[in-house]
Amino acid sequence: MAPRQASSSRDYYEADSLFNDISDRLRRRMPRFDEDRLRSAYELAISAHDGQLRKDGSPYIIHPLEVAEICMDLEMDADSIIAAILHDVVEDTSVRLNQIRQLFGNDVANMVDSLTKIKKIDFFARFTGRNKASNQARNLQKLFVAMTNDYRVIVIKIADRLHNMKTLGSMPEHKRTRISRETLEFYIPIARRLGLGTVTSELEDLVFQFLYPEEYASLKKQVSTYFHEHEQKIQDMVSAARTLLERNGIGVSSIYGRSKHLWSIHQKMELQGVGIDGIYDLLAIRIVIAGQEIDCYRVLGLIHSRWKPIFERFRDFVASPKENGYQTLHTTVIGPGGSWVECQIRTDDMDYEARQGIAAHWSYKEKPQLARIVKDESWLEFIRELSEDDVNSEEFVARTRESLHGDQVLVLSPRGEVVNLPLGSTPVDFAYYIHTNLGHSIRGARVNGNHVSLNYELRNGDVVEVIKAREENAAPRPEFMMMVKSPKSMLKIRKYFKAASRDERITAGRTLLRQLITGQGLYPLNLMANDKLALLLKTMKVRSIDEMYGKIAIGEFETGTIISELKKIHRSRAEQGPLKTKQSEAERQQRRVSQLSGIGYELGLQLSGGQLMRSRTEIRSCCTPVPGDNIYGVHNRAERMVYIHRLDCPRLQVDLREGSLVETEWTGKTEDKRYPARIRIHSLNRVGLLFEVLRFLSENHINLGGAEFSSSPSAFAADEMAKFDLTVEVADVNELKQVMEVIMQIEDVSAVERALPEETPTDPEPGS
């Protein structure tokens, strides 16, 4: 904005007129306000902006005065009006914040500071990676954080954005598009959340006009024509309704016909895939009564007695207010000529709050005044917690955007409290909404009196009861991150793990990744093999697998991306085919079972006597030892690897030819790990036997790592038994025994045993 000298006689006549109007309106509403203080703010602003013009050629001072007018419409206090007049002086002129603080006090200065954009890009931007986009994110973050301390800041900013949108036509097209999209993504949802109904509707239609000008012009013409054609019917209905209510002793403040807002109609047309003829509730009347809540239901009964209702379109926002406190009865009836007409029924107080929202509560520092907007307080608590989290501005803005958008579901606590959650939320979200500790300790839930799983999707009207863990200070389970829908819930879970110990974070991250892989029907043993994770680390900014798990637990890494990359690595290696090496047939057989490899202590192993085992280690797949088995290690110095075998494994002696014996044992700290164990099943071969075994494994959440059929009966060998090997993942030898015992109970199974190589393999012949 290049400064240019303006003609003061012409330019400031309009400014003086605007200021006098603001002053007169404020005096009528607040007879004792300090008029000299308001005039001082105006004189400072007009002096500071002297010579500055907006893109449309108007004096810049007109903009802050128009913003102050909008704030007057919202009945804001005197300090807010002064801050609106001064909101751009620190950003665009030589006036400094200390000067404002000295002249108008801390409240005004703090609001102006919060409304001042961060304009300067760091001198070291090339090293920090900051650019214009990240600067914009920092501005939004600054604004949102300030909003949590003082509602007035965001309302002034919304008023500022409304006037900017009204004058957006003079801006270049790319700026119109950027500003309109930002308004749609952030300012409109916040205005709606704060209950600023009139401002929200104005912003929506302005955004529609600039983002989709052709559709806007076409729809505006169609709606105008439609409303004009039905205007007389609506007037007849308004007149009949007024007579009906007054005859029955209902005090009517106003009844008037109205058409739906254009953006709302456009969204319905897009969602339903229909033209304007497919929207049945274009017409509406609003009934505002001088009475109490109970009188709204009396009006509803009278309207339904006069016009036939369409019951599936009835919504009661009086008993169950919207998240922003909005209260109105919505019902659709068949009006004159068979037209569908939506009737909105509310009291004077409801009407005032529907238009003004939070602006109806400007003595907001008195806590009782906040009772009706407790849901907004909950959302602001999320912003506060997010601001305390160690996230960059872009992530902060992304999470805030996520919290603002999406449909909602209304559920009830056992005491009847209405809780508003994102669509798709679960009992875990509900628990975290009530209290952080309740979320951490949820272990079960009842919905409408029936036990449900924790990932049950809540529906409108559900009554939710939380079943807590018995222990005090219970920790959230890693799988909670897979269950929650609300950004606020996710933030609280990640915040817990961020404050937890390193081992707890590693365990949570590993468990979460494993469960997500399993949830996709894949095998963690395949994707989470250490050699594949090592390849993955080359593309990530971490030094170890454990560090990656820790960052997964606190949300710094996107698990979907990690799983996608592991799939690529797995697919690439599978497509390369088996390596052509001089392996014996027995070795090739054993390689069909996934092997665990890594640092010894990470696999739950230690040297005899409790000494930490830091060697590269592989748990051999020929005998698949698991915790609880008696084991020995063989140190192969050429390969710098310790191989772990069960004592009864035939291949132990083969490995000893090339290495030395190492006495090893399990550490006992393996509760978070799963180990592959191969079992051999002998049975009659009948249809459905394998299916029964696999169903048992699935129902008990036991992963299947592989399967191999050794022999089966046929027409040429009718006396043979079926024999097949399965590789299952278990925590220890006790769990493995339980698995084997249950499989043994399946009809026609004759034996279940630990699988070992059929015979001691010999070394391959040279050149074989």
What are φ and ψ of residue 258, in 5° steps? -150, 150
> Token pair 């399946």 is at which residue?
746
Q: What is the pLDDT of residue 419?
A: 77
For residue 153, the tally of other CB atoms under 10 A from its CB is: 25
The rounded radius of gyration (Å) of the Cα atoms in the chain is 35
Query: To which residue do tokens 């500003």 refer?
Result: 179
Burial of residue 98 (CB within 10 Å: 0-12, 13-18, 19+) is: exposed
Which superfamily does CATH assign the domain made up of 213-360 to? Beta Polymerase, domain 2 (3.30.460.10)
Active-site position among 50, 73, 92, 113: 92
Q: Which CATH architecture has domain 8-122+129-211?
A: Orthogonal Bundle (1.10)
Indicate whether 39 pLDDT > 70.
yes
Q: What is the pLDDT of residue 366?
A: 38
The reported pLDDT for the residue numbered 766 is 36
Q: What is the mean pLDDT of residues 167-173?
A: 87
Q: Which residues pair with 665 in a beta bridge?
A: 606
Residue 576 binned pLDDT confidence (cut-offs 50, 70, 90): low
Question: Is the pLDDT reported for residue 64 higher than 90?
Answer: yes
Q: In the predicted model, is pLDDT for residue 491 greater than 70?
A: yes
Among 464, 517, 475, 512, CA closest to 497: 475
**What would the two tokens of residue 226 be?**
């439609």
Q: Is the pLDDT of residue 127 over 50?
A: no
Q: Does residue 587 register a pLDDT over 50?
A: no
Residue % of the chain over a pLDDT of 70: 79
Catalytic annotation on 385? no
With 70 as the cut, is the pLDDT of residue 435 above it? yes
Query: With 50 as the cut, is the pLDDT of residue 676 above it?
Result: yes
The pLDDT score that the predictor gives to residue 718 is 42
Sign of CA dihedral 741, 745, 751, 757: negative
pLDDT tens digits for range 379-394: 556 555 555 555 555 5
Report, as an integer, the average pLDDT of 453-471. Answer: 87
170 and 181 Cβ atoms separated by less than 8 Å? no
pLDDT exceeds cutoff 60 at 623: yes
Burial class (CB in 10 A: 0-12, 13-18, 19+), 414: exposed
How much is the pLDDT for 657? 85
pLDDT for position 373: 40
As a whole number of angstroms, the distance between CA 545 and CA 552 comes to 11
State yes or no: is 394 an active-site residue: no
- Amino acid code (one letter) for 251: G
Catalytic residue among 91, 246, 277, 720: 91
The rounded mean pLDDT for the chain is 79
Which pLDDT band holds residue 634 (cuts at 50, 70, 90)? Answer: very high
Q: Per-residue pLDDT tens for 713-736?
A: 444 444 456 788 888 888 889 989
600-624: average pLDDT: 87
Maximum average pLDDT range among 256-260, 624-628, 651-655, 723-727: 624-628
Looking at residue 456, the DSSP 8-state letter turns out to be P
CA distance 186 to 154: 11
Confidence of residue 333 (pLDDT cuts 50, 70, 90): very high
User: If you write DSSP's letter for every residue of 298-355 in order, what string do you get?
Assistant: HHHHHHHHHS-B-GGG-EETTTS--TT----EEEEEE-GGG-EEEEEEEEHHHHHHHH
| pLDDT for the residue numbered 21 | 92
State the pLDDT at residue 672. Answer: 65
Least confident of 55-69, 247-261, 715-729: 715-729
Do the beta carbons of residue 506 and residue 546 sit within 8 Å? yes
The alpha carbon dihedral of 657, 659, 664, 667 has a sign of negative
Q: Which CATH fold topology does 675-754 show?
A: Alpha-Beta Plaits (3.30.70)
Where do the domains of the chain lie?
8-122+129-211, 213-360, 406-495, 500-575, 585-666, 675-754
This model's pTM is above 0.75: no
Lowest mean pLDDT of 245-254, 393-402, 557-566, name the range.
393-402
Task: Name the maximum alpha-carbon separation found in the chain.
Answer: 112
CB atoms within 10 A of CB 42: 23
Q: What is the pLDDT of residue 128?
A: 40
Is the pLDDT score of 67 beyond 90? yes
pLDDT value at residue 379: 57
Inform me whether the pLDDT recorded for 301 exceeds 90: yes
Q: What is the mean pLDDT of residues 72-97?
A: 90
Decide if pLDDT at 764 tops 60: no
Most confident residue range from 166-170, 472-476, 567-571: 166-170
Where is mean pLDDT largest: 116-130, 303-317, 405-419, 533-547?
A: 303-317
Cα–Cα distance measured from residue 330 to residue 313, given in angstroms and rounded to the nearest whole number: 8
Report helix, strand or coil for 493: helix
Identify the DSSP state of 260: P
Burial letters 275-284, b for 16+ CB under 10 A, else e? ebeebebbbb
Who wins on pLDDT, 549 or 268? Answer: 549
Q: Are 303 and 333 in contact (CB under 8 A)?
A: yes
Instruction: Quote the percentage of the chain above a pLDDT of 90.
Output: 23
pLDDT digits (tens, 9 = 90+) for 190-208: 888 777 888 888 999 999 9
Q: What is the pLDDT of residue 483?
A: 85
**Per-residue pLDDT averaged across 406-410, rounded?**
70
Q: How far is CA 134 from the centre of its chain?
A: 21
One-letter identity of residue 79: D
Which CATH architecture group holds 406-495?
Answer: Roll (3.10)
Identify the H or E element spanning 58. none
Backbone angles phi, psi at 744, to 5 degrees: -65, -25
pLDDT of res. 384: 58
Residue 462 corresponds to which tokens in the numbers above? 């559900």
pLDDT score, position 304: 93
Length of the chain: 768
